[in-house]
Amino acid sequence: MPSWMTMLFAIAAGLLAANVYYSQPIAELIAASLGFSSSATGLIVAFTQAGFGIGLFLIVPLGDLMENRRLVLTLTAVTALALLTTAISAAPTAYLASALLVGLGSVAVQVLIPFAAHMAPERVRGRVVGNVMSGLMIGIMLARPASSFATQAMSWHAVFYVSGASMFALALALALALPKREPAATISYLALLRSMGRLALTTPVLQRRALYQACLFGAFSLFWTTVPLLLTQSFHMSQGGVALFALVGGAGAIAAPLAGRAADKGWTESGTAFAILCVAVAILITRFAATGSSLGIPLLAAAAILLDFGMTANLTLGQRAIFVLGAEYRSRLNGLYMSAFFAGGAIGSTLGGLAFALGGWRLASWIGFALPMLALAFFAITWMRSRLIRNANA
């Protein structure tokens, strides 16, 4: 797999993943422009996320059944049209319908990642997946500040015009570069969906990795949901300042290629423990970010980088671990894994907002710390059990 192809996969992953997050920092502006009620503003973000969640279950598994290149191109084209429709929406109903399709089409990113794993030789598969995942994480981290800056400079409509145009350009690039890949599966679509339940119940590696990642992405989402509130209320930072702060966290995306290389060398177990500890330590660091102190912002920035590093590293290690289980159901495993990832993030965001309203950052940070500690406890139990089994068999 040539390096330019890996780079194309990484860019595509970043652009597609970003679509789910553009609306988050500008939801209030969209709501005011289109006439949403204050209680319905949350639907602006929720419908895009709902479309993505539905796509993980119903569309991503098709990567094990349909020709992959055609599936990716179709989903990217749907996303492009939905983004342009979002940009010209003049009523809440039209906007929400378009937002749902944006999320649905953006699951192309989760078809591309196992596609890249199929193309990569076994000895460098972790490195390739890590490089693609770094693109995805950079896209997620940069989407919010890019959206804020574009809206500040032009309007919220411009965000979706530009992203829609980028999807058309991406579809053209992928059409020229991607090879065809015809899966070996010959089962029906309904049988494909039914098989996902069996895989979820009978694949211990998937179960472990999904739990670790749900906890870590929950802590990640809690942090990025509540820290903007902390920065604006306690440090009196402007929205532009919050957007710049979010850019800092993007440095943590360097973890993806490093974790991929570690997995290729057989260091998945130790790498997982290190990644979980990074997230736990990052949340603890925020406890020392005294309100309004001169060290508060640097400490929060360091915590953001370490948190993103740990979460990204574990995500990459997890995907590398499930991708070696079998090429014939790689897309289904990825759909299940990312569904847990997505569910953990939704729970973390919800808990973070509620905890911050009830007890400020003190309560929110304790909940954020509990999530990686839960993952660490489960990891320790699993590790000790495997050691006992090895000793018994020795």
Domains of the chain by residue range: 1-178, 189-394
76-90, 252-266, 296-310: lowest mean pLDDT where? Answer: 252-266
Residue type for 94, please?
A: A
Distance from C-alpha of 236 to C-alpha of 184, rounded to nearest angstrom: 57
Please give the pLDDT value at position 16: 94
3-state SS assignment for residue 288: coil
Judging by beta carbons within 10 Å of its beta carbon (0-12, 13-18, 19+), is residue 204 exposed, middle or buried?
A: exposed
Amino acid 256: pLDDT: 67
**Do residues 164 and 84 lie in contact, with contact meaning Cβ atoms separated by under 8 Å?**
yes
CA–CA separation, 56 and 107 (whole Å)? 6
Here the tokens at position 338 are 């990312």
Which of the 8 DSSP states describes residue 201? H
Give percent of the chain with pLDDT exceeding 70: 96
**8 A C-beta contact, residue 200 and residue 206:** yes
pLDDT interval class at 12 (50, 70, 90): very high
12: tokens are: 């595509």
At 163 the pLDDT is 94
d(CA 110, CA 10): 12
**CA–CA dist 362, 42 (Å, integer):** 25
- The class level of CATH for 1-178 reads mainly alpha
Strand (E) or helix (H) holding 162: helix 156-177
Per-residue confidence band for 133, with pLDDT thresholds at 50, 70 and 90:
confident
pLDDT digit string, tens, across residues 251-266: 767 776 777 778 778 8
* CB neighbours of residue 176 within 10 Å: 8
CATH 1.20.1250.20 fits domain 189-394: yes
Cβ atoms < 10 Å from Cβ of 78: 19
pLDDT at position 73: 95
Q: Which of 217, 76, 55 is nearest to 133 (CA)?
A: 217
Q: Do 1-178 and 189-394 show the same overall fold? A: yes
Matching residue, tokens 């999904």 = 210
What pLDDT, on a 0 to 100 scale, did the predictor assign at position 71? 93
Enter the pTM of the model: 0.81
Interacting residues of 226 by C-beta distance below 8 A, sequence separation 6+: 352, 353, 355, 356, 361, 364
pLDDT-derived band at 77, boundaries 50, 70, 90: very high
| Distances in whole angstroms, Cα of residue 307 to Cα of each of 132, 137, 344 | 19, 12, 15
- Phi-psi sector, 315: left (phi>0), alpha (psi -120 to 50), beta: alpha
CA distance 92 to 41: 10
What pLDDT does 291 receive?
A: 62
Q: Is 2 helix (H, G, I), strand (E, B) or coil?
A: coil
In whole angstroms, what is the distance from residue 267 CA to residue 50 CA?
A: 35
Helix (H, G, I), strand (E, B) or coil at 67: coil
Query: Tokens 């030789």 map to which residue?
Result: 121
Give the mean model confidence (pLDDT) for residues 279-294: 81
- Can you tell me the mean pLDDT for 27-45? 76
Given this model, what pLDDT does residue 38 score? 65
Residue with tokens 């702060």: 245
Q: What does pLDDT average to over the chain?
A: 85
Tell me what percent of the residues of the chain surpass a pLDDT of 90: 26
**Which amino acid, one-letter code, is at 67?**
E
